[in-house]
Amino acid sequence: MQKNVIDDVFGTKVFNDDVMQQYLPKKTYAQLKDTIENGEELAPEVANVVAHAMKEWALSNGATHYTHWFQPMTGVTAEKHDSFLSPASDAHAVLEFSGKELIKGEPDASSFPSGGLRATFEARGYTAWDCTSPAFLREDAIGTLLCIPTAFCSYTGEALDKKTPLLRSMEAISKQAVRILKLFGNEDVSSVRCSVGPEQEYFLIDRDMFLQRDDLIFTGRTLFGSMPPKGQELDDHYFGTIRERQAAFMKELNDELWKLGILAKTQHNEVAPAQHEMAPIYSTANIAADHNQLVMEIMKKVARRHNFECLLHEKPFAGVNGSGKHDNWSLVTNTGMNLLSPGKAPYDNKQFLLFLSAVIAAVDSHSALLRLSASNPGNDHRLGANEAPPAIISIFLGEQLEDIVEQILKDGTATHSNKGERMDIGVHTIPPIKKDATDRNRTSPFAFTGNKFEFRMLASSMSISGANTVLNATVADILQSMADRLEASSDFDTTVDEVIYETLSAHRKIIFNGDGYSDEWIAEAERRGLPNVRTMVDATASLLYPQTIEMFERQHVYTKTELESRAEINYEAYSKAINIEAKTMLEMASKQYIPSIIRYVTSLANSINSIASACPAADTSVQTNLLKKCSSLLANAQEALEALKKADRTANTMEEGKVQAEFFRDTVFTAMANLRAPIDELEMLVDKEYWPVPSYGDMLFEV
């Protein structure tokens, strides 16, 4: 077979199936595969053999250290390196790695957010190997590091991370989906996995400019800045030709991702200037989540090699679109059947219709929770701002499925389904193409796209684990009650029809195929009783709804204590983010903007004076008017600065939690906007030579 370019690159840094077969005895390999594929428990002696093989492979690739790589609730990854070194005698050392070290690590857990789960003195935390996500090598200035994906929990067994609940939710949905599938006669199905393909948006700006802006450095977004004459209105950046400097970045990014076995697939320019997107081919949820964390890390790293800074913030620039993440989600059996694939005759595909109605019911029953799973402080700027879905959860099914749902609701069952037609574009030399049965809807937060759902609300910088945990757990919960009823029925076919009918009738209000950006929808959603949760702080309450706690406990995904801790963490995270933004604004305004503006108005005053003394008859009205205007805005800015300082000081005297977070959102955030307004207006008046930081125009267009 001919060797192609990808062979030398793809997966070369991953302890993948090929490597395992090469390094592991046949028996160990089979045992490990059984754990990875069928969820069988892993015996300690197997772990020992795997650890040895992993070390041999890592050493042959130049590694000296290993780390348990985990995802605490900061939303970013964490690692503590250990060398393989062990003393052998006075003069010698050997490199060792045991099964125990592979399976368990014990980092100090006290400094990670735990939301009250851990007191500072209760420091013990454990990392535990997730053998279903492959270990990999990271190479950089520090040398070669063996990274072992792990879950992170406390001494008392509570999850302190994003991975553990995701893994639990994957078990939950597999268990319930298998029950249903058996009833449909799929005896060969033993497990169901959720497949996830996350599309990642990002900005690339010049790093020299980035380094001149404290707001970007400290908060990831610009806190000041007025729009240049041109924004995104011409739509000329979207899918535009990729320029060379960005292309070089993308090529290197692909190479780095491919080496780690990450299936980077599509790349294109996005709507806003300097904005781009990368999407990998989908994989199993926990691997997709690990990979997405790596994608974000590697984007930042590779960007710096090209003197770019990669911005992953949801709203780096006011006035142009921000960045999100689309979470494409489906359910696939171990036999390769996609449970969300409608097949050729969806109206008659009862199994598909049952799973579809389960998803509809799950999303409707827990819509506020789902909205929360896509929330972070940055995403509050996007949701409902006509660039991303509104903060109201609804489901887009498309014409074909909508029609089937209508038939079922009218007659109890459906008898036919529309098909995709042949399309005629009126040019005979172009081969005929077939249309999909359904158009797309960019404005829907949760859209059916052929054989998967696309949850389009996620924040660009966040881990995808939370959203997929909620999806899996809520759908598992609905499937569980459906399975209970179906297993107890003596007439399966009739009961299936009843369950589908009743589920769709109860939850039809969540289905909406129209324009999600329109004002009519907001009013209509209110009439339907759908929650419109505008901010992350409001959405956080959904973690502690009784129905949320019951559902998560029933599915063994979160305990009540874990949920309470996560609510605390959310409030704290929000308050801290806004506090850092406020402090950054205060610092930039007092140390950069105000002094620069004073220099500028002084130069105007000097100019007026020298012109008046040189030529008393000369007209200095331009300078005088400008001087008046700038001085008055400067006074406004100073006043707003004092008000922000006061608001932030008050916020910091408050006890951490919900009330403090609300104060940050309502009072501090408003004070920030009041400071920004006069400074942005001044940016349009003040001589560019005097302006202390790069402008939006510089950053968005000079890359």
By CB under 5 A, name the binding residues for Mg ion.
326
Distance separating alpha carbons of residues 698 and 703, to the nearest angstrom: 8
Closest distance between ligand ADP and the C-beta of residue 398, in Å? 13
Contact between 282 and ligand ADP by CB under 6 A: the answer reads yes
Question: Which entry of Mg ion, ligand ADP, none binds 280, CB below 5 to 8 A by partner kind?
Answer: ligand ADP
Among 154, 174, 176, 195, binds ligand ADP (CB under 6 A): 195
Distance separating alpha carbons of residues 250 and 617, to the nearest angstrom: 61
Closest distance between ligand ADP and the C-beta of residue 326, in Å? 6
Query: Which positions from 122 through 161 interact with ligand ADP, judged by CB under 6 A?
Result: none
Contact between 266 and ligand ADP by CB under 6 A: the answer reads yes
Contact stretch for ligand ADP (CB under 6 A) within 250-258, 273-281, 561-569, 636-644? 273-281
Calculate ∠ Cα 132-134-140, nearest 5°. 150
Closest distance between ligand ADP and the C-beta of residue 265, in Å? 6
Question: Which entry of ligand ADP, Mg ion, none binds 281, CB below 5 to 8 A by partner kind?
Answer: ligand ADP
3-state SS class at 139: strand
Site string for ligand ADP, 9-48 (x = CB under 6 A): ----------------------------------------
Question: Which entry of Mg ion, ligand ADP, none binds 266, CB below 5 to 8 A by partner kind?
Answer: ligand ADP
Contact between 113 and ligand ADP by CB under 6 A: the answer reads no
Closest distance between ligand ADP and the C-beta of residue 266, in Å? 5
Side-chain half-sphere exposure of 168, counting CA atoms within 13 A: 23
Closest distance between Mg ion and the C-beta of residue 515, in Å? 18
3-state SS class at 616: coil
Name which of 143 and 420 has its Cβ closer to ligand ADP. 420
Q: What is the DSSP letter of 316?
A: S
Name which of 326 and 366 has its Cβ closer to Mg ion. 326
User: What is the radius of gyration, based on Cα positions, of the chain?
Assistant: 28
Under 8 Å between Cβ of 309 and 205: yes
**Residue carrying structure tokens 């999850």:** 159
Count H helices, E strands: the chain?
A: 23, 19
Instruction: Give first-to-last CA distance, the chain, whole Å.
Output: 42
Side-chain half-sphere exposure of 40, counting CA atoms within 13 A: 12
**126 residue type, one letter:** Y
**74 residue type, one letter:** T
Question: Which entry of Mg ion, ligand ADP, none binds 451, CB below 5 to 8 A by partner kind?
Answer: ligand ADP
**Residue carrying structure tokens 């007191």:** 119
Contact between 284 and ligand ADP by CB under 6 A: the answer reads no
Q: What is the DSSP letter of 185?
A: T
Closest distance between ligand ADP and the C-beta of residue 240, in Å? 17
Name which of 101 and 277 has its Cβ closer to ligand ADP. 277
3-state SS class at 434: strand
Name which of 200 and 232 has its Cβ closer to ligand ADP. 200
Under 8 Å between Cβ of 363 and 477: no
Query: Which positions from 364 through 383 interact with ligand ADP, judged by CB under 6 A?
Result: none
How far is the CA of 481 from the CAs of 358, 361, 476, in angstroms? 10, 11, 9
Name which of 28 and 328 has its Cβ closer to ligand ADP. 328
Which spans of this chain sit near ligand ADP (rule: CB under 6 A)? 195-197, 199, 266, 279-282, 328-330, 338, 449, 451-452
